[in-house]
């Protein structure tokens, strides 16, 4: 039987989103299949994990009835140690993740009512089960961080690792690019802004008159796709997590029955309703409307960018200089150089760039180093249609890793390897000092950690 290979130990046990008992489990005859310390693992626990993984499309590299109990057993080892070490996680962090998971379930299944029907439980019962499992998952994370501690990786560590790697094990680094960008937002006519504001005032009047609820209007008309299906509801958030204009109004709301004044932000125009305040965090719902851009204004912005790119090609100024004209505040003060949110560097693999913007990735793919694109339209991270030109600053073609070009990537691999080794050693040591009993019918497995069964 295959072992569950190629799964990072540090991420195996963050079971933040699992363990919700489904209606199908009502037919399972329960029994204790493992005992770890004084904690039992039930057949229903295993079946719950299997069904949840099946729903989410997760694959197991081996028999799930072997892999899942071992994962649950290891999770119990971490939780037991966390209790001894008095490791706790923030209740607010747990609530935030419960909100996110609940919203995800509603988005996937279709409505709150359908989620209740699918799981055969009330919303409050589902949230309580999610809260318990998410708290356990976050506690495991914190325990693992403590076990790993601070790992210092020196250049000699990386060189030694790289030197000892067989040629066929040297990691392949996909093609990476550095991209500069200049964007222009098409002008919005005042008449269009007035139309949006009037619409939001009409919504406010309807809500105040009691003819329709805020949440229903949000479901019908809000242009914030992330919150629309949940009636415009956002999770508990602190001021730093919200754009300033929204935060200033949201945190000053006192009456949940009242609707805020119209708020303008970089996303568009909002009206906001308070749901609940907890300390320095607030839960709100909102309706977002975005003014529509007319074709003539898009054409004007494209023409302006075309003129700028011609001036750069004619060496009137450089792309770096022209970047100060960009309306992309995240890049204009860095000569237009885009930053990879995943790595914090300016290098993007093409797949990573496509996750930021399909339009940019498609445009960059056809450019030579130093070449400036023709103007094009795209939707930015705020959901607005903007016009842009990009320059391919550099391209490093796909290659096997080298110390000179890929030191940081290799350093991360070494750090991850040492972290995994620490976790594995801790698990094996903990096994030796923990009472474990496995039901005879569940022993015939090729476990990742064979020490569960004493000879």
CATH of the domain at 55: 1.10.4030.10
Report residue 139 CA to chain centroid gap.
19
Same structural domain, 346 and 435:
no
CB 166 within 8 A of CB 309: no
What predicted TM-score, i.e. pTM, was given to this entire model? 0.66
Q: Map residue 225 onto helix, strand or coil.
A: helix
Spatial neighbors of 104 by CB under 8 A, at least 6 apart, are 17
Q: Map residue 389 onto helix, strand or coil.
A: strand
| Structural domain contains residue 117 | yes
CB 412 within 8 A of CB 345: no
Same structural domain, 301 and 325:
yes
CATH number of the domain that residue 319 is part of: 3.10.50.40
Distance of CA 446 to CAs 244, 414, 443, Å?
54, 27, 9
Per-residue pLDDT at 77 exceeds 60: yes
Same structural domain, 33 and 63:
yes
Same structural domain, 74 and 223:
no
Q: What pLDDT digit, counting tens, does each position of 386-413 carry?
A: 999 999 999 999 999 999 888 988 998 9
Helix axes 407-432, 64-84, angle to 10 degrees: 80
Q: What pLDDT digit, counting tens, does each position of 112-160 carry?
A: 888 888 778 888 888 888 899 899 999 999 999 999 999 999 999 999 9
| Structural domain contains residue 102 | yes
Same structural domain, 230 and 283:
yes
The whole domain housing 198 covers 190-289
Q: Which of 258, 289, 320 is the last residue of a domain?
A: 289
Cβ burial of 439 (10 Å; 0-12, 13-18, 19+) is middle
In percent, the amount of the chain with pLDDT more than 70 equals 93
Strand order of the β-sheet with 263-265 is 263-265, 268-278, 281-289
Report residue 328 CA to chain centroid gap.
23
CB 107 within 8 A of CB 101: no
Same structural domain, 301 and 182:
yes
Mean pLDDT, all residues of the chain? 88
| Structural domain contains residue 165 | no
What is the C-alpha radius of gyration for the chain, rounded to an integer number of angstroms?
27
Average pLDDT over every residue of 185-207: 96
Q: If you search the block for the tokens 């939780």, which residue do you land on?
A: 79
Same structural domain, 13 and 146:
yes
Same structural domain, 67 and 142:
yes
Spatial neighbors of 316 by CB under 8 A, at least 6 apart, are none
| Structural domain contains residue 407 | no
Least confident stretch, 13-27, 36-50, 69-83: 13-27
Per-residue pLDDT at 234 exceeds 70: yes
| Structural domain contains residue 161 | no
Our count of domains for the chain comes to 3
Q: Map residue 38 onto helix, strand or coil.
A: coil
Same structural domain, 51 and 100:
yes
Retrieve residue 59's tokens: 């694959």
Q: Which of 289, 309, 333 is the last residue of a domain?
A: 289
- C-alpha 377/C-alpha 388 separation (Å) is 6
| Structural domain contains residue 163 | no
Same structural domain, 16 and 121:
yes
Retrieve residue 25's tokens: 């489990």
CB 154 within 8 A of CB 324: no
Q: Which of 256, 289, 322 is the last residue of a domain?
A: 289
SS3 sequence, 280-296?
Answer: CEEEEEEEEECCCCCHH
Q: What pLDDT digit, counting tens, does each position of 272-286 carry?
A: 999 999 888 899 999
| Structural domain contains residue 167 | no
pLDDT of residue 29: 61
Spatial neighbors of 427 by CB under 8 A, at least 6 apart, are 9, 74, 77, 449
Of the candidates 454, 455, 453, 433, the one whose C-alpha atom is nearest the C-alpha of residue 445 is 453
Same structural domain, 48 and 141:
yes
Q: What pLDDT digit, counting tens, does each position of 305-322 carry?
A: 999 999 999 999 999 999
Q: Half-sphere exposure of 434 toward its Cβ, with a 13 Å CA cutoff?
A: 26
pLDDT of residue 25: 42
Winning range, highest mean pLDDT, from 57-61, 99-103, 410-414 = 410-414
Average pLDDT over every residue of 235-241: 88
| Structural domain contains residue 26 | yes
Distance of CA 69 to CAs 135, 287, 303, 310, 448, Å?
19, 45, 62, 64, 11
Q: Map residue 378 onto helix, strand or coil.
A: strand
CB 125 within 8 A of CB 10: no
Same structural domain, 209 and 305:
no
CB 356 within 8 A of CB 341: yes
- C-alpha 100/C-alpha 97 separation (Å) is 5
CB 99 within 8 A of CB 452: no
Q: Fill in the DSSP letter of residue 6.
A: S
């Amino acid at each position: 039987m295959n072992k569950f290979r190629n799964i990072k130990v540090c991420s195996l046990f963050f079971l933040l989103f699992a363990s919700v008992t489904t209606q199908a489990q009502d037919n399972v005859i329960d029994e204790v299949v493992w005992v770890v310390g004084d904690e039992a693992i039930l057949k229903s626990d295993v079946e719950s994990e299997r069904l949840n993984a099946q729903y989410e499309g997760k694959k197991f590299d081996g028999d799930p009835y072997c892999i899942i109990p071992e994962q649950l057993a290891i999770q119990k080892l971490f939780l037991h140690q966390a209790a001894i070490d008095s490791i706790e996680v923030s209740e607010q962090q747990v609530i935030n993740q419960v909100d996110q998971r609940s919203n995800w379930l509603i988005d996937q299944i279709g409505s709150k009512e359908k989620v209740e029907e699918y799981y055969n439980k009330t919303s409050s019962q589902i949230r309580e089960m999610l809260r318990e499992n998410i708290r356990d998952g976050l506690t495991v994370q914190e325990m693992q961080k403590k076990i790993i501690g601070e790992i210092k990786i020196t250049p000699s560590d990386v060189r030694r690792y790289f030197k000892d790697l067989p040629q066929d094990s040297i990691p392949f680094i996909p093609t990476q690019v550095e991209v500069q960008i200049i964007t222009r937002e098409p002008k919005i006519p005042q008449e269009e802004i007035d139309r949006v504001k009037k619409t939001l005032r009409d919504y406010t009047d309807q809500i105040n008159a009691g003819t329709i609820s805020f949440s229903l209007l949000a479901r019908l008309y809000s242009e914030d796709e992330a919150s629309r299906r949940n009636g415009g509801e956002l999770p508990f958030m602190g001021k730093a997590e919200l754009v300033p204009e929204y935060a200033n109004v949201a945190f000053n709301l006192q009456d949940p029955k009242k609707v805020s004044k119209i708020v303008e932000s970089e996303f568009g125009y909002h009206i906001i309703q308070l749901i609940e305040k907890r300390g320095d965090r607030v839960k709100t719902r909102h309706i977002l409307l975005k003014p529509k851009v007319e074709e003539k204004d898009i054409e004007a912005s494209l023409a302006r960018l075309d003129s700028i790119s011609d001036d750069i090609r004619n060496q009137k100024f450089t792309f770096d200089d022209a970047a100060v004209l960009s309306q992309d505040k995240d890049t204009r003060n860095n000569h237009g150089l885009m930053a990879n949110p995943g790595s914090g560097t300016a290098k993007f693999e093409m797949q990573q760039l496509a996750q930021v913007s399909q339009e940019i990735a498609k445009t960059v793919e056809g450019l030579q180093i130093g070449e400036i694109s023709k103007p094009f339209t795209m939707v930015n991270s705020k959901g607005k249609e903007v016009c842009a030109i990009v320059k391919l600053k550099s391209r490093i073609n796909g290659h096997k890793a080298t110390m000179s070009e890929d030191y940081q990537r290799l350093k991360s691999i070494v750090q991850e390897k040492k972290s995994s080794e620490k976790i594995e050693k801790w698990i094996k040591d903990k096994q030796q000092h923990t009472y474990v009993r496995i039901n005879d019918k569940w022993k015939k497995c090729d476990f990742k950690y064979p020490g569960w069964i004493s000879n």
